[in-house]
């Protein structure tokens, strides 16, 4: 048995998802969001794959993530979505030719204090249109814009962005409201604009702008609470698969696992699979979750342990060494997220360090 649990990453699926996004946003450039280790898929291999597939730029949340890309030889534009927070970080961003967001007065001041400017860096001015997380508020936009424009010869370019709070809810009036506010605040400024995340790319075609910023959709996963990536023409890029390490008989009336929370109502056959919360499966995954073994979708029973789960395989031919799929093309991560009362973002980002990533 090679490696028990592993996350198989499909380069073909990543490339196909990028093509699907381009089809949806044919006039926009694509800023491929690969923060948090590319949503658990492995930032370096995913960066290489998406750049080869034609992504226009990459985006990460933290300076360390960007520097790791540069250290590995990635020369594509990389955007720091939260910007930089100290002079030292600014110096590293400038030296690394990183583009960065400026979302508040302090970051603007850091840029103003950067001797020699940031001539190789495009600056993304973030405008808050209702998310109330990052970005200049409406009453601060004009002054910030003026200060940024005064630096325009010291940076590679100015771009304007905002972020939607409710784009995953097609019925929410918030997205339209945010678009209106953004349009009013940026007026006829001659700079490139970016608004749309994955959800808006599919649900708000009027929001596409010069750059779209897909994350989840690149990995083939739906940002909407209902439905799966396949319904949007996307293919799951990760297949999280492990191995049956033993199969045992459990008599009627006996329980399985910690707390004895599941009890066999009939003589049962239980497969133990090497996957637990130590690998990133939430402890809260329990009733309603299935594991695919061979051609069968079989129910997880009892609690998730650190290293193992139990699956009821009664009446199904399952043996030690069989593959057991937690999520992937056989059953979307969206289903598992719903069963665990979480979101697919969290399950994907949660795949732990000890799970080897195999990109092919
Ligand atoms: C994470 C992030 C995205 C990508 O969001 P998805 O929902 O994964 O498409 C886009 N823009 C910003 C500013 C982000 O932080």
- Give residue-wise pLDDT tens across range 68-100: 999 999 999 999 999 999 999 999 999 999 999
Q: How far apart are CA 289 and CA 314, in angstroms?
A: 16
Ligand 1 atom with the shortest distance to the CA of 201: 9
Segment 177-188, tens digit of pLDDT:
999 999 999 999
Half-sphere exposure of 314 (CA within 13 A, CB side): 13
Asked if 220 contacts 13 with a C-beta cutoff of 8 angstroms, the reply is yes
Ligand 1 binding site (Cβ under 6 Å of any ligand atom):
33, 35, 81, 163, 197-199, 213-217, 223
Distances (CA, A) of 175 to 92, 206, 234: 35, 10, 23
Catalytic site residue from 191, 258, 277, 345: 258
Confidence of residue 1 (pLDDT cuts 50, 70, 90): very low
| Rg over CA atoms, the chain | 23
Segment 18-67, tens digit of pLDDT:
999 999 999 999 999 999 999 999 999 999 999 999 999 999 999 999 99
Ligand 1 atom with the shortest distance to the CA of 161: 13
Distances (CA, A) of 32 to 1, 117, 245: 35, 26, 38
269 CA to centre of ligand 1 in angstroms: 43
Of 189, 167, 220, 184, nearest in space to 21 by CA = 220
Establish whether 189 is a catalytic residue: no
For position 284, what pLDDT does the model report? 86
Ligand 1 atom with the shortest distance to the CA of 163: 13
The residue-averaged pLDDT of 156-179 equals: 97
In SS3 terms, the chain reads as CCCCCEEEECHHHHHHHHHHHHHHCCCCEEEEECHHHHHCCCHHHHHHHHHHCCCCEEEECCHHHHHHHHHCCCCCCEEECCCCCCHHHHHHHHHCCCEEEECCHHHHHHHHCCCCCEEEEEEEEEECCCCCCCCECHHHHHHHHHHHHHCHHHEEEEEEECCCCCCCCCCCCHHHHHHHHHHHHHCCCCCEEECCCHHHHHHCHHHCECEECCCHHHHCCCCCCCCCHHHHCCCCCEEEEEEEEEEEEECCCCEECHHHCEECCCCEEEEEECCCHHHCCCCCCCCCCEEEECCEEEEEECCCCCCCEEEECCCCCCCCCCEEEEEECCECHHHHHHHCCCCHHHHHHHCCCCCCEEEC
Q: Residues of the chain with pLDDT > 70: what percent?
A: 99
CA 78, chain centre distance (Å): 16
Q: How far apart are CA 219 and CA 92, in angstroms?
A: 29
Segment 252-265, tens digit of pLDDT:
999 999 999 999 99
Q: Residues of the chain with pLDDT > 90: what percent?
A: 96
Establish whether 35 is a catalytic residue: yes
CA 110, chain centre distance (Å): 29
pTM over cut 0.85: yes
Q: Show the domains of the chain with their CATH numbers.
A: 11-227 (3.20.20.10), 238-359 (2.40.37.10)
């Amino acid at each position: 048995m090679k490696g028990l649990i592993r996350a198989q990453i499909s380069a073909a699926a990543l490339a196909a998802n990028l093509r699907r996004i381009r089809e949806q946003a044919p006039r926009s450039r694509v800023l491929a969001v690969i923060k948090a280790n590319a949503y658990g898929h492995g930032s370096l291999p995913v960066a290489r794959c998406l750049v080869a597939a034609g992504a226009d730029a990459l985006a990460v949340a933290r300076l360390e993530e960007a520097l790791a890309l540069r250290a590995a030889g990635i020369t594509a534009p990389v955007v720091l979505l939260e910007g930089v927070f100290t002079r030292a970080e600014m110096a590293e961003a400038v030296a690394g030719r990183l583009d960065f967001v400026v979302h508040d007065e302090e970051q603007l001041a850091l840029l103003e204090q950067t001797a020699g400017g940031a001539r190789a860096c495009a600056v993304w001015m973030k405008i808050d249109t209702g998310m109330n997380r990052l970005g200049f508020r409406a009453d601060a936009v004009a002054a910030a814009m003026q200060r940024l424009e005064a630096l325009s010869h010291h940076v590679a370019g100015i771009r304007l962005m905002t972020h939607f709070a409710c784009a995953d809810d097609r019925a929410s009036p918030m997205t339209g409201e945010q678009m209106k506010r953004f349009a009013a605040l940026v007026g006829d400024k001659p700079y490139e604009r970016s608004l749309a995340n994955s959800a808006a790319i599919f649900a708000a075609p009027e929001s596409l702008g010069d750059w779209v910023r897909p994350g989840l959709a690149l990995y083939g996963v739906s940002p909407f609470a209902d439905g799966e990536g396949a319904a949007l023409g996307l293919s799951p890029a990760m297949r999280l698969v492990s191995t049956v390490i033993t199969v045992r008989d459990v008599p009627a009336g006996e329980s399985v696992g910690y707390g004895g929370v599941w009890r066999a109502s009939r003589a049962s056959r239980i497969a133990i699979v090497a996957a637990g919360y130590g690998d990133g499966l939430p402890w809260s995954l329990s009733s309603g979750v299935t594991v695919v073994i061979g051609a069968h979708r079989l129910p997880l029973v009892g609690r998730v342990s650190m290293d193992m789960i139990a699956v009821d395989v009664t009446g199904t031919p399952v043996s030690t060494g069989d593959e057991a799929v937690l999520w992937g093309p056989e059953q979307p991560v969206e289903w598992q997220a719903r069963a665990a009362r979480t979101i697919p973002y969290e399950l994907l980002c949660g795949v732990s360090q000890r799970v080897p990533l195999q990109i092919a």
